[in-house]
Amino acid sequence: MENLDSDLLRTFIAVSDAGSVTDGAAQIYRSQSATSLQIKRLEDILNRSLFERHGRGVVLTEAGQYLLPIARDVTARLDGALRDLSQNPLRGKLRLGIPDDHGRAKLAQIIAAFGQTHAQVELEVTCALSAEFPDALIKGRLDLAVYEVETPQDHEEVLYGDPTHWFAAQHRDFSTMEVVPIALFDQACWWRDAALTSIQASGRPYRVVYSSQSVSGIIAAVEAGVAIGLLGQSSINGNLKRVGASLNCGATPASKLVLGHGQIKDHDAANTMKAAIRSAFGA
């Protein structure tokens, strides 16, 4: 009976995380052909297909979905054993971007999980608006980042999706107002564009009465009853109600929270951080 090689499992994880053989090969510094051969070898051992083509990339089959958490656990345990037995802990710095509105609830969990295995790695965290994180990854100012997009790119791993809707305070009725007051994000991002497109589709006159850089700021304005606001379903509490239909607003897209990476030098530390982020966000 053949055995599963951890090197094959690492290649499998890289392709799964990247969403394509080409991008996965780049993460592990192998050629596309060598990476494809390793995936084929693993599938031959298992006698199961692990990926199927989807657009320009690949997605996991049912067998691949079953194997992925096992592969992560096995490789993480092997890496941990190597660190413990070699007594040569990783050092250096890992730069992480976490959106301010998500990070406060998740950051402590992420740091705790990462610190268990990489206590000697300096963690530099930017907890702020996520609109600038993709550019920071490209320019090398961040190694990993969590941020929101409307349409994920091939290199972005989706952590979860969040439908967006127009909300108002429970005690306010804006349907009879001639000019609808709205609250918007004051940064040039897709949230603002989506809100304007939706309200314009209603044909109703509107006026921007409040701007904020954060979700908490928009929620505060909506709860106060001064405006309606476009918000993610996960941000909503019992003080708010959906009003898009009553105002005939246009459809609004779902927000996708994704994990992106830059040109990472320390893949071991980065992989541990990715696992901690996935766990914190329930991915």
**Segment 182-209, tens digit of pLDDT:** 999 877 678 899 999 999 999 999 999 9
Residues 268 and 132 in one domain: yes
Chain centroid to CA 204: how far?
34
3-state secondary structure of 203: coil
Domains held by the chain: number: 3
The per-residue pLDDT for 127 is 83
What letter does residue 188 receive in the DSSP assignment? S
**pLDDT value, residue 229:** 95
Is 1 a member of any domain?
A: no
Residues 122 and 172 in one domain: no
Q: State the CATH number of the domain containing residue 16.
A: 1.10.10.10
What's the confidence (pLDDT) of residue 129? 77
Give the pLDDT score at 104: 62
49 and 155 share one domain: no
Which of 69, 88, 107 is the last residue before a domain boundary? 88
**Residues 215, 279 within the same domain:** no
Tell me if 17 is assigned to some domain.
yes
CATH at residue 235: 3.40.190.10
Quick one: 136 and 270 in the same domain? Answer: yes
Judge whether 134 and 152 are in contact, CB under 8 Å: no
Same domain for 182 and 227, yes or no, is yes
Is 143 found in the same domain as 185? no
The residues of the chain scoring below 50 in pLDDT are none
Query: What is the reported pLDDT for 102?
Result: 65
pLDDT for 198 equals 96
Write the CA distances from 202 to 111, 115, 165, 251, integer angstroms.
44, 50, 14, 10
Residues 134 and 258 in one domain: yes
Same domain, 71 and 191: no
Name residue, tokens 């941000």.
235
Query: Can you give the pLDDT at residue 105?
Result: 64
Q: What is the pTM of this model?
A: 0.62
Domain span at residue 127 reads 90-159+254-283
Residues 6+ apart with CB under 8 A from 256: 148, 149, 150, 151, 152, 158, 160, 161, 162
